[in-house]
Structure 1
Amino acid sequence: MTRPVKPADGIVWITGASSGIGAALARRLARKGWTVAVSARGAGALEDLAKEHPGKIIPAPLDITDASAVAACVERLEAEHGPIACAVLNAGIYIPVKAEAPSYEDYARTFAVNLNGTAACVSALTGRMAERRKGQIAIVSSATGFGGMPTASAYGATKAALINMAECLAIELHRYGVHIQVVTPGFVETPAQDDNEFPKPFMVSAQTAARRIASGLKSRRFEITFPRRFTLVLKAIYALPRSWHIALVRRQTGWNKPPED
């Protein structure tokens, strides 16, 4: 049976930690006694974050789209700071794609970071954790992964894939004692949301998201989802026949109106 890990088991590694949910979660876990390794491309932001909690937050600048660099980063962190007991794979980008004027580059960049980058992290971690018969990985997806949303044909596709990835890993790694979770937040107040053109009900702050994730990491449940009054309703909508929920989402987001000239 899998179980949540504790600070005595090793360190936490958080990707996408230079701002938003990742930075807020790093601060929270450091206050709770964890040693937290933080990765993102922006070295300066990571250094500033580390200064807030000297000795408890370790900056580890990284571009997760470089699989070799990811593997080397994991190797270095474990050699210098002990086993990665828990990894929160949070790095991701949101690029809105308009179907009437799409950009292949936007699709490719979104897939490279959100899906391939997460796969690089998983590939560097799961073998080590399986060998130790202990570990925990939380993959940060999104409620957008439940079903279609306007301008999210790239982002939503990656987030749906991450939910499936987490489910597959949870099936396979349970017998090795590795605890797999998926995080499916609704709208979180981050700069990425500025590009969303549709209503964003029940939006929560990055600090609230960090609190919910930190609480969920201490549980045995597979999915950490919030705010539940939004995500559970959204799941119910997507449980309807597809033609029904597509029409409903189209209407609720305003995409049932003719385009403006």
Structure 2
Amino acid sequence: MSAPEPAKPSDGVCWLTGASSGIGEALIADLVKEGWRIAISARSEDKLKALADQYPGLVFAYPVDITDDAAVARTVSKIETDHGPIARAILNAGVYLSINAERPNFDDYAKTFDVNLKGAAACICALTPLMCERRSGQIVIVSSATAFGGMPTSTAYGATKAGLLNMAEGLAIELHRYGVHIQCVTPGFVDTPAQDDNDFPKPFMVSAETAAARICKGMRKTGFEITFPRRFTWALKLIYALPRDWHIALVRKQTGWNKPPE
């Protein structure tokens, strides 16, 4: 069975979550250039409207809290009623909350799990029945290179991103026979507000605009994983392929967490 084909603008509309800032905001311009009509979602209605106003007739605001599965289902239904089938969905919404392992905050864990994992699941549940019935569609789940293995201050974020990678792999296995193309994005460091709380080195960090361009290029292909910058993400893959005792010690040293506490 041949691989499902990437969606095209002629197939329907693109739905983009987490569109109000960072990678999501940067994706809008590139998707418009490719000819897509885009339904953009986030919680901030004012920000979404301001972005949509820049592209009249091409970008449409659909504010929603993705942790509310009923609201997500209504939003997906409304988008399809207004603009036709969702041919491509980019599940980009997410939060990064730095966790101090010595003094962790349970609410930070809970919010991270709710937005990053529960939110993605709500979107998946609303989308896959429609796409399977149509025997077509593309779902792109934005994970992170932190999915490859543990990183300091990322015990909540990394756990959710590893969960998203696993979720995407499972969907790719199951939905292939329905002609639904599943992809997962595993970027390294991207210069967004989420990085402001990270005080350890961020090698090979790219701009949100560069990240958006790499994602758009990858979405036009049939491959499962979109990862960049490869000189960083592939090096991480090699590190995390080492026995766990080795890679834990190596990451601890490289990030400075091998030093005694002050």
TM-score range, shorter chain: over 0.9
Which residue in the other structure is 1:216 paired with?
A: 218
Distance in 1 of aligned mates of 2:27 and 2:89: 12
Q: Name 2:46's counterpart in structure 1.
A: 44
Q: Give the whole-Å Cα distance in 2 for the aligned partners of 1:144 and 1:97.
A: 14
Paired letter, 1:228: R
> Where does structure 1 lack aligned partners over 5 or more consecutive residues?
none
Q: How does 1:138-149 map to 2 (within 5 A)?
A: 138-149=140-151
Q: How does 1:21-40 map to 2 (within 5 A)?
A: 21-40=23-42
Cα deviations by residue, 1:1-45 (Å, 9 ceiling, x for unpaired): 301010110000000000110011012101221001100001111
Paired amino acid for 2:5: R
Matched, 1:238 2:240: yes
Give the deviation of 1:155 after TM superposition.
0.3
**What residue number does 1:202 align with?**
204
Matched, 1:121 2:96: no
Distance 2:40 2:66 in 1: 12
What does residue 97 of structure 2 align with? Answer: 95
Match of 1:165 in 2: 167
Q: Does the residue aligned with 1:12 lie in a helix, a strand or coil? A: strand
Match of 1:68 in 2: 70
CA displacement at 1:245 relative to structure 2: 0.2
1:3 matched to which residue of 2? 5
Return the alpha-carbon distance in structure 1 between the equivalents of residues 80 and 247 of structure 2: 46
Deviation for aligned residue 1:124: 0.3
1:181 — aligned with what? 183
C-alpha separation in 2, matches of 1:148 and 1:25: 28
Q: For the residues of structure 2 that align with 1:213 and 1:138, how far apart are their CA atoms?
A: 9
Q: Paired residue for 2:153, among 144, 151, 154?
A: 151
SS at match of 2:190: coil
Q: Alignment partner of 1:17: what SS? A: coil
In structure 2, distance between residues paired with 1:156 and 1:115: 11
Secondary structure in 1 matching 2:60: strand
1:193 CA drift (Å): 0.1
- Structure 2, unaligned runs of 5 or more: none
| Corresponding residue pairs, total | 260
With normalisation by structure 2, the TM-score equals: 0.98
Q: What SS class does the counterpart of residue 44 from structure 1 fall into?
A: helix
Secondary structure, in 3 states, of the residue corresponding to 2:191? coil
C-alpha offsets along residues 151-196 of structure 1, whole Å, 9 cap, x if unaligned? 1110000000000000000000000000000000000000110101
TM superposition outliers: structure 1 runs of 4+ over 6 Å: none
| Number of the residue aligned with 2:110 | 108
- C-alpha separation between the residues in 2 aligned to 1:23 and 1:197? 24
Counterpart residue number, 1:84:
86
Letter in 2 for 1:208: T
**How far off is 1:200 after superposition?**
0.4
SS at match of 1:113: helix
The letter of the residue matching 1:135 is G
| TM-score, normalization by structure 1 | 0.99
Distance in 1 separating the partners of 2:200 and 2:90: 28
Q: CA deviation at 1:137?
A: 0.2
Partner Cα separation in structure 2 for residue 27 and residue 131 of structure 1: 30
TM-aligned CA deviation for residue 51 of structure 1: 1.3
- Quote the Cα distance in structure 2 between the aligned partners of 1:241 and 1:184: 22
Matches within 5 A, 1:13-28: 13-28=15-30
